[in-house]
């Protein structure tokens, strides 16, 4: 042990029963004068993070819509802007910057995430989570062992291995706690105790009691429910509206859902009546559209499951800003909701639209196109992320 004297008593035995007693004092990094012993102070968590910090060779900054670097590459990591602030880290600690790249909240946290519903989730040095407001004030105290971002004005948090929901002021939605839970969506959250599942509303009332094998995401007054290994649909009055007889189901889009029966997928309406032919797979794409798979090819379906395109695609993504990325003949382009190729498949890679632009690559870097498929600037980058509030995270140096 550093900084301590170690005294050992050695009692070796020798023939004849004579015992020699020697007392040896070993001084390791210390002096015998007690007043001069030097003890090192334990490192604080911030100091420990700093001492473990390894400077990354490539930093992050932000570009504007013209592709100009407006916040220089100075951050070890950073996140998208929201509410005019972005989480960023330096020297192993996180804070928040504004659009000018100035620190609004100094980097003093173990973690920080983008603002949602006017609240920024932070993790303090002891590992607990809390939330800031956009002025940088701690608005919800750091009480939680685990926390998620706000959705629909509610956040899932954990303490003592039990989950609760809080509102943006930190008030608890319900006195009840849960073994497991999912975030609020469409006004409701799925919660579980003892392996059984129910549905909680934003007032903390169980609209579906905790008694089912599993629940899916509520939509349009239909809730996927698993009973004895089979799936059907409840309504919000906890009445089984579509018999639990399916192997798998999707959530409803508008008045239609995809279900798997006998290894095949089809689309049903809210009464359970089949609306489409059966396929190998059906996936919801948003905007009341579906992708159907037959063998190794995909097609686009309308809200009722009618074919809008032939089976000719290798991949169709979900719709974002009314466009879905697709792959055909090993190249990527974009469909609109009618199935029209609004941006032809000329890209080696492309990403979903966000903030009016989408990333693309022709193999020599990553750039941006607008909703018409035209490059919004001629800059290409080794790594760049989606625009948010007109700024995009970027690295201009290759790894």
Single out the residue in 273, 290, 312 at which a domain terminates: 312
Q: What is the pLDDT of residue 15?
A: 44
Long-range contacts of 234-240 (CB under 8 A, 24+ apart): 234/208, 236/199, 236/207, 236/208, 238/207, 238/208, 238/209
- The answer to whether residue 176 sits within a structural domain is no
Q: Do 220 and 296 share a structural domain? A: yes
On the question of pLDDT at 26 being above 70, the answer is no
Q: Do 324 and 303 share a structural domain? A: no
Q: How big is the CA angle at 57 (ends 45 and 399), to the nearest 5 degrees?
A: 135
116-159 confidence digits (pLDDT tens):
999 999 999 999 999 999 999 999 999 999 999 999 999 999 99
Q: Do 308 and 227 share a structural domain? A: yes
On the question of pLDDT at 33 being above 60, the answer is no
The residue assigned the tokens 């006998």 is 262
Q: What is the pLDDT of residue 372?
A: 97
Q: What is the pLDDT of residue 128?
A: 98
219-233 confidence digits (pLDDT tens):
999 999 999 999 999
* Percentage, residues of the chain above pLDDT 70: 87
- Which structural domain, as residue segments, surrounds residue 352? 319-399
Q: Give the containing element (helix H, strand E) for 22.
A: strand 22-27
The predicted model gives 243-249 an average pLDDT of 98
Spatial contact of 291 and 258, defined as CB atoms under 8 Å apart: no
pTM: predicted TM-score of the whole model, two decimal places: 0.84
Confidence of residue 54 (pLDDT cuts 50, 70, 90): confident
d(CA 130, CA 147): 8
Q: Do 294 and 263 share a structural domain? A: yes
- The answer to whether residue 300 sits within a structural domain is yes
Spatial contact of 355 and 387, defined as CB atoms under 8 Å apart: yes
- The answer to whether residue 30 sits within a structural domain is no
On the question of pLDDT at 27 being above 60, the answer is no
Q: Which of 39-48, 197-206, 239-248, 347-356 has the lowest mean pLDDT?
A: 39-48
Confidence of residue 40 (pLDDT cuts 50, 70, 90): very low
Confidence of residue 14 (pLDDT cuts 50, 70, 90): very low
Q: What is the pLDDT of residue 56?
A: 86
Q: Do 392 and 306 share a structural domain? A: no
Single out the residue in 289, 312, 335 at which a domain terminates: 312
Confidence of residue 55 (pLDDT cuts 50, 70, 90): confident
Q: Do 340 and 372 share a structural domain? A: yes
Give the start-end residues of each E strand in 153-216. Answer: 154-159, 162-167, 180-181, 188-193, 196-201, 206-212, 214-215
The predicted model gives 67-79 an average pLDDT of 98
Which candidate, 341, 363, 337, 355, places its Cα nearest to that of 393? Answer: 355
321-359 confidence digits (pLDDT tens):
999 999 999 999 999 999 999 999 999 999 999 999 999
The predicted model gives 250-265 an average pLDDT of 97
Q: Into how many domains does the chain fold?
A: 2
On the question of pLDDT at 16 being above 50, the answer is no
Q: Which of 54-58, 182-186, 324-328, 385-389 has the lowest mean pLDDT?
A: 54-58
- The answer to whether residue 340 sits within a structural domain is yes
Spatial contact of 381 and 365, defined as CB atoms under 8 Å apart: yes
- The answer to whether residue 251 sits within a structural domain is yes
d(CA 358, CA 350): 7
The residue assigned the tokens 């972005």 is 86
Q: What is the pLDDT of residue 399?
A: 78
- The answer to whether residue 138 sits within a structural domain is no
Which candidate, 79, 151, 165, places its Cα nearest to that of 117? Answer: 151
- The answer to whether residue 244 sits within a structural domain is yes
Per-residue tokens: 225:
């429910």
- The answer to whether residue 227 sits within a structural domain is yes
Confidence of residue 47 (pLDDT cuts 50, 70, 90): low
Q: Which of 50-59, 82-91, 101-110, 354-363 has the lowest mean pLDDT?
A: 50-59
Confidence of residue 23 (pLDDT cuts 50, 70, 90): very low
Q: What is the rounded end-to-end Cα distance, in angstroms, of the chain?
A: 43
Q: Do 344 and 386 share a structural domain? A: yes
Q: What is the mean pLDDT of the chain?
A: 90
292-306 confidence digits (pLDDT tens):
999 999 999 999 999
Per-residue tokens: 274:
């089949």
The predicted model gives 241-251 an average pLDDT of 98
Which candidate, 55, 111, 53, 54, places its Cα nearest to that of 79? Answer: 111
Q: How big is the CA angle at 238 (ends 255 and 186), to the nearest 5 degrees?
A: 50
Q: Do 343 and 266 share a structural domain? A: no
Single out the residue in 247, 280, 312 at which a domain terminates: 312
* Percentage, residues of the chain above pLDDT 90: 85
Edge-to-edge strand order for the sheet containing 60-63?
69-75, 60-63, 391-395, 383-388
């Amino acid at each position: 042990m550093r900084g301590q004297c170690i005294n050992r008593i050695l009692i070796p035995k020798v023939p004849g029963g004579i015992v020699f007693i020697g007392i040896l004092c070993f001084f390791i990094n210390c002096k015998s004068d007690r007043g001069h012993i030097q003890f090192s102070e334990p490192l604080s968590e911030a100091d420990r993070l700093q001492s473990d910090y390894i400077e990354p060779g490539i930093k992050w900054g932000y570009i504007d819509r013209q592709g100009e670097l407006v916040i220089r590459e100075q951050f070890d990591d950073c996140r998208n802007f929201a509410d005019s602030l972005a989480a960023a880290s330096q020297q192993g600690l996180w804070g928040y910057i504004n659009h000018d790249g100035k620190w609004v909240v100094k980097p003093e946290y173990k973690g920080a995430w983008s603002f949602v519903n006017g609240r920024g989730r932070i993790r303090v040095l002891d590992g607990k989570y809390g939330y800031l407001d956009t002025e940088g004030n701690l608005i919800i105290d750091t009480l939680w062992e685990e926390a998620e971002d706000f959705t629909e004005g509610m956040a899932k948090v954990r303490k003592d291995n039990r989950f609760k929901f809080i509102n943006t002021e930190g008030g608890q939605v319900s006195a009840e706690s849960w073994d497991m839970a999912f975030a609020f969506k469409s006004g409701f959250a799925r919660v579980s105790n003892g392996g059984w599942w129910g549905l909680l509303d934003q007032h903390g009332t169980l609209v579906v009691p905790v008694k089912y094998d599993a629940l899916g995401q509520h939509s349009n007054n239909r809730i996927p429910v698993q009973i004895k290994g089979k799936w059907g649909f409840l309504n919000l009055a906890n009445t089984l509206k579509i018999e639990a007889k399916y192997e798998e189901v999707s959530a409803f889009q508008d008045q239609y859902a995809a279900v798997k029966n006998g290894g095949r997928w089809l689309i049903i309406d809210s009464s359970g009546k089949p609306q489409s032919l059966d396929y190998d797979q059906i996936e919801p794409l948003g905007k009341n559209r579906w992708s159907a798979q037959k063998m190794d090819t995909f097609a686009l379906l309308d809200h009722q499951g009618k074919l809008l395109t032939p089976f000719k695609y290798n991949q169709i993504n979900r719709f974002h800003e009314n466009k879905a990325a697709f792959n055909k003949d090993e190249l990527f382009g974009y469909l609109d909701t009618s199935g029209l190729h609004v941006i032809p498949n000329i890209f080696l890679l492309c990403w979903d639209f966000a903030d009016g632009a989408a990333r693309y690559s022709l193999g020599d870097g990553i750039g941006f196109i607008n909703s018409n498929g035209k490059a919004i600037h001629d800059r290409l980058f080794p790594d760049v992320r989606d625009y948010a509030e007109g700024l995009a995270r970027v690295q201009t140096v290759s790894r």
